[in-house]
Amino acid sequence: MVALSPASMRTKKTMRAVGIPVVDLSLDRSIVSVQIVKACEEYGFFKVINHGVPREIISRLEGEGVHFFDKPAGDKQRAGPATPFGYGLKNIGLNGNKGEFEYLLLHTNPFSIAERSKTISNDPENFSCAANDYIEAVRELASEILDLVAEGLWVPDKYVFSRLIRDVQSDSVLRVNHYPPVKNRDPSSKACKDDQIGFGEHTDPQILTILRSNDAAGLEISLHDGFWIPVPPDPTQFYVIIGDALRVLTNGRVVSVRHRALANSSRINSRMSIMYFGAPPLNTTISPLPEFVSPQNPILYKPFTWSEYKKAAYASRLGDCRLNLFKQ
């Protein structure tokens, strides 16, 4: 069943409770596909439970992440700078966006991971195994979710979306973000606000994102009317974020959610999140599928390749609406 994970927020105008969809993947497939499509249409975001990813696979990669980010700054910098892959600190992209965090960005290609692991870990083989096992597991989860989306939308070819991220040339990436606890800040200071941004608002450009974080809060999503709501952390489950590419493929039927991460306001606990960004091969043309175009629903976006959209993303500011560049 779909349960609603309660969250509330207060503004000068109103206070209201908002539920984040929770989808149980162990239920009947026909029911789950309808529930997922509803969540994609209304939120572009949902939590999945009974996802089938073994806890051991999650724990191993989390342990590798904790070990890396606990290293002295000089040791971590050996894995950088991120260009775009490797270790990065505070910088987001090439256009001046910054945040209160550090990260590892890896291409999901096993050969690329094997090479990068040499500067990330003292035991490169162990790190590579942990990363590759995690990627394989969450890719399967992402593919299953995309197949359920296709089924729920009554697309004749139910593999039309998942085929793109299963392709051996897929441009999918793995990102591990670390938000250290606040240090040496006066809580009463005007500069010290709970809403200081750790990673600014944006949509994900890829097809979809599988996100997992530890038990420290910070993630927020924006509703259609601009309200920001907090997402309760749940280290045992995964959150699914719909990306711009899937929005285009469905001609706007599903939405790509704007989201952000607040700076870690804790003085004790670090926040760490792991994201698998499922993307197609670079030369893939992204355009609305014929099933979603009709006289009543005219085509909304011009065709573009994934490579072209990536270039547009790198050339823009983090919070820009990049899809506007490709509207009809």
Residue 325, CA distances (Å) to 200, 244, 287, 316, 321 in order: 20, 12, 14, 11, 8
Say how far apart CA 278 and CA 271 lie, in whole Å. Answer: 23
In this structure, are residues 232 and 8 in contact, taking their beta carbons and an 8 Å threshold? no
Catalytic residue of the set 247, 271, 317, 322: 271
In this structure, are residues 250 and 288 in contact, taking their beta carbons and an 8 Å threshold? yes
**Which run of H or E residues covers position 130?**
helix 124-152
Is residue 271 part of the annotated active site? The answer reads yes
Structure tokens at 82: 């991120």
In this structure, are residues 85 and 112 in contact, taking their beta carbons and an 8 Å threshold? yes
Residue 214, CA distances (Å) to 100, 211, 234, 250 in order: 17, 10, 7, 32
Cis ω before 84 (30° cut-off from 0): yes
Active site residues: 271
